[in-house]
Amino acid sequence: LTPHPSLVYICSICGKVARGLRPVVCTVCRAPAEKFELLKPQDIETLAQKEGGLTEEITFDGVKLKWTQEAKTEFIRIQDGYLRRRALAQLEKAARMRGLSVISKELMSEFVGRVMSDKENPIQVTPHVAVENEVASPLPLPQKWEKMSSPSTLEQLGNFQWTEEALSRLSRVPSGFMRDNTRLKIEEYAKEKGIVNINLEVAEAGIARARELMAEMISGYSSGKK
């Protein structure tokens, strides 16, 4: 069979999208071929009309995603800035993995419910008791305890594993030399501190170091011109 790029199939179980040919099995949830439904252009138009029209947004890596108005309204429900950034990162990742170009209210509700559940059911942590000759951690204490990422949300890059939040933060640095240099400084910081799993706090500490070095370079360049 010859793939037809205009044909779009969607898994009725997990929402994975495939183009060209109906998959034999879903690569996300392992559902069989019969669970894939042909998605027609008018289906997207119907969804847009039903949920108040479409608006186009550009993600941090330049990918264009359309949001229905009801989806955007649902997203605004998240008042906490950290939770909103976390939901957005997870949502954009899910859209890429599933091959989706439109974010609907149904998909948005899935992630709003997840992050709100995390906020309402925080992990209880037993206070740490210092022992004799203990070396204090170089990282600042967090203002609130956060759930650690499960192994499935860690991505291996070189000798380190990065959480979704850390990768999302790195991706906001302009691509090219600046991003490559920033990643290097984050990993240098992690190596110095004996850290293998790079989370958001470690990434921010490395980014702060990269900023300082960049400021020194700019200052040195300016002095040399005088």
| Residue 161 vs residue 212, higher pLDDT | 161
Closest by CA to 71, choosing from 105, 23, 47, is 105
Residue 219 has pLDDT above 60, yes or no: no
Domain boundaries, the chain: 1-39, 40-119, 151-219
Contact status, residue 37 vs residue 9, Cβ threshold 8 Å: yes
Contact status, residue 159 vs residue 171, Cβ threshold 8 Å: no
1-39 fold: Rubrerythrin, domain 2 (2.20.28)
151-219 fold: Helicase, Ruva Protein; domain 3 (1.10.8)
- How much is the pLDDT for 137? 42
Q: What confidence tens digit (pLDDT) does each residue in 118-157 have?
A: 555 443 433 444 444 444 444 444 444 344 444 445 566 6
In terms of CATH architecture, what is 40-119? Orthogonal Bundle (1.10)
- How much is the pLDDT for 177? 67
Query: For strand 36-39 and strand 4-11, is the pairing parallel, antiparallel, or unpaired?
Result: antiparallel
Closest by CA to 158, choosing from 174, 148, 170, 175, is 170
Rounded CA separation 92/144 (Å): 25
